[in-house]
Structures are given as structure tokens and as C-alpha cells.
Amino acid sequence: MADQEPVASDSAEEIMAGTYRALCDHGFAALTMQDIADECGKSKSLLHYHYNTKEDLLVSFIEYIVDDFESRVEMAATAPPDERLLEFIEWFAFDPNERERQSFHIALLELRTQAPFNERYRAQLQRSDDLLRDTVADILATGIDEGYFVDVDVDRTASLIVAALDGARTRQITLRDETYTRVVTDALLEQLVEPILTDASSILDGGDDPE
């Protein structure tokens, strides 16, 4: 926005970390700029100096978490495709001890219900969806090229994997079901990943561990 001051990098990190904590503690619907300011240890007027509205701040926040995920994907891109796929899927399984993660995803789900009516939220969530699907499609395409996987429709398979992981997470957090993501990641590995591996002994049995 032309009328907003750019945020110095350290301060931006602090504001984003505070926004994350505020979403975990207060949810999305009830969240105020004061809640975020309190979590950051900054004044509300400082936040408003950088972000005109709560919506501006939250759009920047989603952008920030998608950027963060993108960096992690890039860092992991040197590993073999079968390991990358396993790691991607495993990353979505979480257990009841991860309370903060659960609270964050409930808040994010609240925000997602606003996306049909809010073009700016929707644009950031679309970027997140594109990144997730492209990441899986890229892992699959590389793996097929390099002989790790048999030939499959990479885009369609990527959509299925991302949808299953998202649905499992939504059900785990809304139903307070402690095992939904674990059950679904296990099912994905056994019923979708194992059948496309050219060497099924490689990763799924924990091939690296001496047994």
C-alpha cells in the first residue's frame, strides 16, 4: 500500500510472530489489533503505522507463512524424491500434544471461511494451495524422471494428496480427534505412495535403520 510504511525486517519478524501467537490465543473472529500489539510487545499505534487495518496485517501474515513454507520446500529440494514425498506427507501428521498448532489451524480455518467473500485472503490462500500442489507435483515429476516412481498423473495425484491432508487436519481439529491426521498419512503412504514406488523397500520400512 502506498500509504503504509515498510517494516524493518527484525520488527516485521516480531510482528509476524506476535500475530501467530495472537491467532493461537484468540482465534480469528475475535482478534483485535490490540491483542496482536500485546503479543508483540509493541504499541497499537506502531502496528497501525505499518498496517492500516487488521485485514492488511493478516494478508501480510498469510503471505509470510506461505513464504516461510516455500523456503523450507526449497531447502529440502536436494533430497531424493521418495524421501521428500515421505517428509511432505509426514509433516501434516500431528498429535494432541501440539496444542499451539491445533489452535493455529482452527484460527486459520476461520479465516478460510471468509475467503469466498474476501479477494485478498483468497489470493493468498490460492498461492498456498498452488505451492502445496506444485511442490508435490514437482516431487512426483522428478521422481518419475529419475526412476523412483512409476508413471502417474502428477497434477491429479498432487491434488488428491493435498486434499486428503487438508481434510484430515480439518477433521482432527474440529472433532478434537487425536489420530485423524496419523491414520490418513499412514493410508496415503501405504495405498498411494507405496504402489508407485519402483523400489518399495526403500523408505517406507524405515530402510535407513539397522534392524
- Please report, as ranges, the residues that interact with its own copies according to CB under 8 A: 29, 106, 109-110, 112-113, 115-116, 122, 125-126, 129, 152-153, 155-157, 159-160, 162-168, 170-171, 173-177, 180, 183-184, 186-188, 190-192, 195
Nine-digit cell at 141? 515429476
CA 122 vs CA 107, 113, 129, 149: distances in Å: 15, 10, 10, 33
Residue 6: CB minimum distance to its own copies, A: 29
Considering the complex, state which of residue 126 and residue 198 has its C-beta at the smaller distance from its own copies: 126
Shortest Å distance, C-beta 135 to its own copies: 15
C-alpha cell at 132: 502445496
Residue type, 25: D
Could you tell me the smallest distance in angstroms from the CB atom of residue 96 to its own copies? 12
3-state secondary structure of 6: coil
Query: Residues with Cβ < 8 Å from 58, sequence gap 6 or more?
Result: 19, 111, 121
Closest to its own copies by CB, 191 or 201:
191
Residue 15 or 93 with smaller CB distance to its own copies: 93
Tracing cell 519478524 back to the chain, one arrives at 13
Of residues 33 and 160, the one with the C-beta less far from its own copies? 160
Q: Which of 178, 202, 209, 79 minimizes the C-alpha distance to 135?
A: 79
Question: How far apart are CB 25 and its own copies at their closest, in Å?
Answer: 13
| Rounded least distance, CB 151 to its own copies, Å | 12
Q: Distance from first CA to last CA of the chain, Å, rounded?
A: 58
